Structure 1
Amino acid sequence: MVAEKSPRPVRDWLRSASGNRSLQARLALHQRLLTALRRSLPPALRDHCLACVFGRDGTLILYTDSPAWATQLRYLQPRLLPALAAIAPVTRLRARVLPPSRPPAIEAAPPRLPPPEIVAQLRQQVAWVADEAVRASLLRLLDTWRSHKD
């Protein structure tokens, strides 16, 4: 009977000298490819090419920050391949868009307050509210609106 190999934890592979060397070599290759790629790009596009990953099938996946820049990278593929072939056997480029790392900040809109005439009409109507708690709450709201207008 043949003993089955159980999966090794990733941390064991990373701690091993061969695993660490392999990972470091792969990272160095990706960095060299990214540097060569950026040198070959027009200045406007350089900062938008964020990362790259080289696959064993010869495909270099380029990551950019918007679909527009990804399209530009696709058009430049014939010009970029020779510069990259000196570093690795890149046969094809694919461009992908990375989602933003955090959502864009949304500025709070200034509060839209009702005009003074509406506030005055509401103040008159509050007198007819039977429930004391509701009336007190509405009066506080009207006072808040008035203080924001001043």
Structure 2
Amino acid sequence: MTKKLTSFKAALSFPNRTIAHFYSQIKQQELILQRIHEVLPAAIAEHALHCVVNGKKLLLYTETSAWASQLRFYSSVMLAAIAPITRESISIVQIKVRGETSLTGRKQEMPAGEGSLQTTSFGRKPNIPSAEKIAFIHDYSLNVADSQLKQALLRLSSTLEKLSKTKPQTD
């Protein structure tokens, strides 16, 4: 019995321009992220996690909104640094915060409530001041000369008053 030889080629052995295009995009995004890490201060650079070029926009992903605000200060520096290595002229840097994940790695669902002020922190409760302190903030705001500060203190006192009237939910 002779063995019959079959010629079989794996699917990835055929030339495929689509896969090659995706690989080139991934390589370009890695180069851009590497260049961004080079121009940012070390403490901030480690929080620039991923980047994607979308038209004339650079999307940069980070962990929290605090790091996003720090990265926004360096948007012009990042644009100047990546200009020589991008295929298109990028003029906008948009910084996005990656979704929060729990210890299991799954995305946390945020409770949806109509007009409710709820937090999704892990076991932390808001610290609402006493009614006397809320009244003091309100009374003090009426005597402030600066109108912008006065409005801010009035909004703060009304928000704290609303939060103090809501009953805490038991888990």
**Structure index of larger Rg:** 1
- Gaps of at least 5 residues in structure 2 are 1-10, 105-121, 124-171
1:49 partnered with 2:61: no
Q: Please give the alpha-carbon distance, in whole angstroms, between the structure 2 residues aligned to 1:19 and 1:80.
A: 29
Q: Please give the alpha-carbon distance, in whole angstroms, between the structure 2 residues aligned to 1:32 and 1:90.
A: 15
Partner of 2:33: 34
**TM-score (normalizing by structure 1):** 0.56
- Gaps of at least 5 residues in structure 1 are 1-11, 108-150
1:96 partnered with 2:90: no
Offset, 1:90: 1.9
- AA aligned to 2:97 is V
1:61 partnered with 2:59: yes
Partner of 2:131: none
CA deviation vs aligned residue, 1:75-94 (integer Å, no higher than 9, x gap): 11122211010111221110
Partner of 2:74: 76
Offset, 1:48: 0.7
Partner of 2:111: none
Offset, 1:73: 1.2
State the 4+ residue runs in structure 1 displaced beyond 6 angstroms: none
Q: Please give the alpha-carbon distance, in whole angstroms, between the structure 1 residues aligned to 2:103 and 2:38.
A: 29
Partner of 2:22: 23
**TM-score (normalizing by structure 2):** 0.49
- AA aligned to 1:36 is R
CA deviation vs aligned residue, 1:94-120 (integer Å, no higher than 9, x gap): 0000013x304879xxxxxxxxxxxxx
Offset, 1:62: 0.1
1:87 partnered with 2:85: yes
| Structure with the largest fraction of helix | 1
Aligned length, in residue pairs: 92
Q: Please give the alpha-carbon distance, in whole angstroms, between the structure 1 residues aligned to 2:72 and 2:15.
A: 38
- AA aligned to 2:59 is I
- Identify the range of structure 1 (71-80 vs 44-53) with the bigger mean alpha-carbon deviation: 71-80
Q: Which SS does the other structure have where 1:49 is aligned? A: coil
